Amino acid sequence: MKFGIIGGGSWATAIAKILTDNGNSIHWFFRNEKIIAHVKNRKHNPHYLSQVYFNTDLLSLSSSIEEVVKKADTLIVVTPSAYTEAILESLPKDAFKGKKIISAIKGILPGSNQLLNEYLATQFNVELKDYYTILGPCHAEEVAAEKLSYLTFSGTDENEAKHISSFFKTDYINVITNTDVVGVQYAAILKNIYALGAGIAHGLEYGDNFLSVYIANCAHEMGVFIKQLMWDENDTEEQNIVNYATSVYLGDLLVTCYSLYSRNRTFGNMIGKGYSVKTAQLEMNMVAEGYYASKCIYKTNLQIQAQIPITTTIYQILWEHIPAEEGFKQIESLLV
């Protein structure tokens, strides 16, 4: 496969490491020519995971997204969801014809309130059969340190998902496959919201007992939302057999809520300590996907009417500016 990576952040850098460690050549899009020059000369990304050094013979770097898309047959999209539409909008409508798209995005595109596959279908005529996801409880920092991590590859054709996953299997990456393409994406979106809430709880000085009960209830709420969504879209009971206790669902929720690497937890901790949203954003200088996701899920849920009071309360804290203490008093009364 000829891989192309769209994105230059920490997770894009981690994916580039995985692929090149397996000897795969990659085409890699960066918007900034200075970063390209740095990677070529110094062999590492100057801003993200700078401890990771690359064999530059395996890298074809370009500031032209059109060039990277043209030269690759399998594109991995690893951009913050808030910026993805702006990055892709310059491409011609047939740019992805005959290509496979792999999403490593854990968010909804806020401009259109769509998953990436929905956006690609409407804007570029990409069929779901050519769309895959890489998700799971991975941190870029642990991949950089080569600590054993698990990734789940989802696609409507599980055999093809297994074939794609084989390029990512290493001594420090274990791969899993499933066919729940839509469900895993919404699980990844929701866990960021819940992790942001976990950070708020920590900032408000709740203890470990409360956090464990909170996360258990979040896991239940996640399943409620996904089942309701999939019932509405597909009119099938197939989602009732999905095991939400596996790594791409529960595992990703747990690590994002507990880990100090989690930017959503960090962002929420600031909100709990009294920072405004704007101040927290400036302080972090990184995108916390859960902030935008809370509004997108709230809007989506106006249509499907799932019972998701935890998500709704976090949305109200972030976007309707109810005090964090008041919001979590509401959540306290809901937990079982």
Confidence (pLDDT) at 238: 52
Contact 49, 10 (CB under 8 A): yes
pLDDT in tens, 55-114: 999 999 999 999 999 999 999 999 989 899 999 999 999 999 999 999 999 889 988 999
What percent of the chain has pLDDT above 70?
Answer: 97
Q: Please determine, for residue 286, whether its predicted confidence score (pLDDT) is greater than 80.
A: no
Classified by CATH at the fold level, domain 182-332 comes out as N-(1-d-carboxylethyl)-l-norvaline Dehydrogenase; domain 2 (1.10.1040)
Is 0.75 topped by the overall pTM? yes
What is the domain partition of the chain in residue ranges?
3-179, 182-332
Structure tokens at 330: 């509401």
- pLDDT confidence bin for 282, thresholds 50/70/90: confident
Give me the sign of the Cα torsion angle 107, 112, 116, 118: positive
Q: How confident is the model at residue 156 (pLDDT cuts 50, 70, 90)?
A: very high
312: which strand partners?
Answer: none
Q: How many CB atoms lie within 10 A of CB 36?
A: 18
- Report the CATH fold assignment for 3-179: Rossmann fold (3.40.50)
Lowest mean pLDDT among 24-28, 70-74, 180-184, 242-246: 242-246
- Judge whether 3-179 and 182-332 match in fold: no
Q: What type of residue sits at position 297?
A: I
- Predicted pLDDT at 221: 97
Residue 318 has pLDDT above 70, yes or no: yes
pLDDT digits (tens, 9 = 90+) for 1-19: 999 999 999 999 999 999 9
Contact 266, 139 (CB under 8 A): no
Q: Give the Å distances, CA to CA, from 324 to 208, 210, 309.
A: 18, 15, 15
Could you read off the pLDDT of 235-255 as tens digits, one per residue?
Answer: 455 545 788 888 999 999 999
